[in-house]
Amino acid sequence: MNLDSNSQNSASQSSTSAKDGSAQEGAATLLILALAILAGLSRLLPHPPNVTLLTAASLLAGALLPRKLFRANVLILLGVLISDLALGLHSTLPFVYAGLAFGPLLASWSMSSTGSMGSSSAFSQRMGRSLVAAGGASLGFFVMSNLGVFLVGGIYPMTWVGLVDCFVMALPFWRSSLIADLGFGVPALIWVAPWLKAQLLAPMSVNSDAVN
């Protein structure tokens, strides 16, 4: 009887854990979609050139859904598409959207660090990974979006000189983007993402205690 009871308890706990994980992912999905829409709509407000919350939102998406990167990317693209419909569509958008995919991927990697945040070494590791993730996401977006300008923008000649000119002319614009991406993205990974994950886990922990 004890073995049967233990088996039933184990099965019940596994089922509860699976349901909690699914519920957490569902809540994270809705939260990311809301953040993506807000980040996209923020582009419609007056703001300094190339200073947006899109990279920070994409980093948060990857941090909250590290095992569902395709879903994270789709949610970010939905938010951006809403603002693009208002701002106007153009031929380089596929490259822009591809550039946003670096955020969730690098965020997932940055959040895989181990150790307690109370440890100075763990915090330094998280800080380093967050800087790499935010900077890498910014660089990836810069490369992909300007590659689109070169290939389909019709502005530069299709030569190596034209390619170099395209990226050189874009560097001043990337400076503002990089500062914004680091300024918004690093805090998002170090403090905002862990706090949001804790909030998403809290109701599941209460339900689990109630079942036990």
Q: For 69-121, write each residue's pLDDT tens digit.
A: 999 999 999 999 999 999 999 999 999 999 999 999 999 999 886 555 666 78
Report pTM. Answer: 0.84
Domain ranges of the chain: 21-211
Contacts of 44 (CB under 8 A, 6+ apart): 83, 86, 87
Q: What percent of the chain has pLDDT over 70?
A: 81
- Helix axis angle, 193-211 relative to 2-41, nearest 10°? 150
Instruction: Give me the helices (H) in the chain, please.
Output: 2-41, 54-64, 69-87, 93-100, 102-110, 120-152, 160-187, 193-211
**Per-residue pLDDT at 113:** 61
Contacts of 9 (CB under 8 A, 6+ apart): none
Tell me which of 1 and 19 has the higher pLDDT: 19
Average pLDDT, stretch 163-171? Answer: 97
DSSP code, position 45: S
Tell me which of 132 and 50 has the higher pLDDT: 132
